[in-house]
A and B are shown apart, each in its own frame.
Chain A
């Protein structure tokens, strides 16, 4: 045995030295100049014909190849196990890995006639909406160009210019503040736009009073982005004048208005869209499918939240330097507001801080959260609500709360919807649907995690097919589709939000999609996703919480007599 070993090693030594001699041999003839070495090396391969390889050479050359055996074995074993888990989970859930099919709300026809839009209220949100329709103020284009230069990932301008040209013109602008009205006209003339460059834009006409814009023959459809206290009156007047309406949320300021607007819109037969652009989020559409497939089990609790922590987030908006009684039509601004007060720049620019013009957190942010839950679970109006809160941080003269909680009961669904908000803390809390078998967190992406005490997944959890410390699957619009068995890194990215939603893997502004849906219905008939019925549910639900907060009592909805008690 020892001899054998010795022989083997001496064999090896000999072999090595042969090779060594050979290689170092040619190197040892190292000349002074580099060029000569090159010559020798380059000549080496030419000797090929004269040499032959021994069996030992072949064996040594292939000595590490068997490593591929265990590699392949391990790799295939892992792949088969992962694929099996994925297949098992997806088969159990019956949900596709692909992006949800977004069905148009109407039958799309090819020919589309020009729609002439009027905008009432060209503030920050008004500008957003008009941009969604395809018209941006030149200042915005410049700002975005600059941002894109500084940060190559800022695709705001690119996304805007890639928007579908909706074949609309902005032909009327009404704003009680001169500066904003002028901005609206500038936007209507800006040819830097999707499908732009014709140089044929005539621009919008300014209407001093909204009634003139609504009655105008140059306007087919109206976008309303005024403070909430004007929404109902303007919408009712507009549909009565035969105009289609896109109205910002909250749909109304009071319960009474909600009934009136609903009746007027229904009687008019005009197309009405409420401004909850979240309806276009791919992740919300996917969440609805997941809820319908009963993947979460019986859902008993839905938690929705708002956390903001800046003056802007708490509606302390900048006061424009040119704002004055001369440039602002204060009387028209006040309009149907319950309390008439002397001219106030604060109230004009920061109107969300007063119940005279809006409903604070309830109408501004609870409305979005509720609408998302309503979109995903089709909740309708709750049976009852208890709300509480107060002005705890922004003691700046406002009368709406900056900390606000509302607890809604849906007794027919055995479900509670909680809304919890503060304007003085920025922690991300998400929107969570809690079922007996799994939880689902929905933002611009979506994560479903199985519950460790789930009945439905019990066996799969025991068999280690489902890991409850990792998501059952995540869904990131446009990025990943649904991926089961996710790594920690993937889970991390799933919780991050995206600014835009996706269609066919491309980023699209949700507001643009929401306006487009409204225009499609105007042209081809049908009902948009956030129509007057959804709006009615939203407004009543929000106002129930506001009443509960203001009156300090539990508020109920009498669904038979259709009234709040």
Chain B
């Protein structure tokens, strides 16, 4: 049952595309770079005993600010969110680099980035007191990384280069 679900999530309904080597290389480089970014963000948070998402959440603007405040106000909810965020980042990073359950990793990555984006949207009229290193209007790095993961979702590579090849693609005996 689990295998069935995983298989379904990993491939359906995309056919395995017939990429040129250049296309495949470009996609895999993108996948590995995004994976690297996720993995390091996760590890840094796990290693810092004082890290908490509270600072980020307290700055939340827009429709999700109420939810963010509720999370910060409840120590238990904050602990759960922190845990999911830290280990989620690591799992997604590992998945993308190794090409393991790549589809699930990219979709989870999109979900996570979606939350980052909507909690602190760079919309006109919203100002944040946390310093940022660039200038953004509507489009920020979270949104771009989210779209890059969307590209990886619809142009899968895990079953070509990645552990997914071992999990999902079976070769008939010669």
Interface set of A (CB-CB < 8 Å, partner B):
9, 12, 16-20, 22-24, 27, 37-38, 41-42, 44-45, 47-48, 50-54, 57-58, 60-65, 67-68, 71, 75, 79, 151-153, 155, 479-481, 483, 488-489, 492-493
Contact = CB atoms under 8 A, between A and B. Distances in A.
B166 A44 contact: no
A23 B11 CA distance: 9
A466 to B, nearest CB: 20
Interface string B20-60: 01000000100110011001100100010010000100100
Nearest to B70: A152
Given A67-B36, A153-B73, A53 B15 contact: no
A64 B99 contact: yes
A41 B170 CA distance: 12
A40 to B, nearest CB: 10
Question: Which 7 A-B residue pairs are closest in the complex by CB-CB distance?
Answer: A152-B73, A51-B170, A61-B165, A23-B16, A480-B50, A24-B15, A42-B4
Given A60-B160, A64-B32, A64-B162, A44 B15 contact: no
B130 A492 contact: yes
Contacts of B129: 492
B146 interface: no
Contact of A57 (B19, B32, B69, B166): B166
Nearest to B48: A483
B105 interface: no
Nearest to A30: B13
26 contacts: A16-B160, A19-B16, A19-B169, A20-B16, A23-B15, A23-B159, A24-B16, A42-B7, A42-B8, A50-B173, A51-B170, A51-B171, A57-B165, A57-B166, A57-B171, A58-B166, A61-B162, A62-B163, A65-B97, A68-B98, A71-B40, A75-B43, A153-B69, A155-B73, A488-B131, A493-B55
B170 A9 contact: no
Given A45-B3, A51-B172, A64-B161, 18 more contacts: A19-B160, A23-B11, A23-B169, A41-B8, A44-B170, A45-B4, A48-B170, A54-B174, A57-B165, A61-B165, A63-B28, A63-B162, A65-B98, A67-B32, A68-B97, A152-B70, A153-B72, A480-B50
A48 B168 CA distance: 10
Nearest to A13: B18
B169 A481 contact: no
Given A42-B4, A64-B32, A153 B58 contact: yes
Most buried by A among B3, B19, B164, B174: B3
Contacts of A483: 50
Contact of B55 (A53, A67, A488, A489): A489
B131 A53 contact: no
A67 B40 CA distance: 13
Interface in B135-171: 159-166, 169-171
A241 B10 CA distance: 83
A180 to B, nearest CB: 33
A38 B97 contact: no
A235 B72 CA distance: 45
Contacts of A71: 36, 39-40, 97
Nearest to A74: B40
Contact of A12 (B21, B32, B35, B40): B21
A64 B131 contact: no
Query: What's the interface size class on B, roughly?
Result: 35 or more
A16 B15 CA distance: 12
Given A57-B165, A483-B50, A152 B39 contact: no
B104 to A, nearest CB: 16
A84 B8 CA distance: 48
Most buried by B among A61, A63, A75, A479: A61
Contact of A64 (B15, B50, B98, B166): B98
Contacts of B160: 16, 19, 60
Given A61-B166, A64-B99, A67-B36, A9 B16 contact: no
A44 B162 contact: no
A79 B165 contact: no
Contact of A79 (B19, B47, B72, B173): B47
Contacts of B4: 41-42, 45
A38 B162 CA distance: 24
Contacts of A64: 28, 31-32, 97-99, 161-162
B171 A52 contact: yes
A63 B29 CA distance: 12
A483 B171 CA distance: 54
Contacts of B98: 64-65, 68
B137 to A, nearest CB: 21
Nearest to B16: A23
A63 B8 CA distance: 24
Contacts of A61: 99, 161-166
Interface in B55-105: 55, 58, 69-70, 72-74, 97-99
Contacts of A480: 50
B142 to A, nearest CB: 16
A18 B15 contact: no
A117 B7 CA distance: 72
Contacts of B11: 23, 41
A197 B55 CA distance: 36
A32 to B, nearest CB: 14
A9 B21 contact: yes
A39 to B, nearest CB: 10
Contacts of A53: 166, 170-171
Nearest to B170: A51
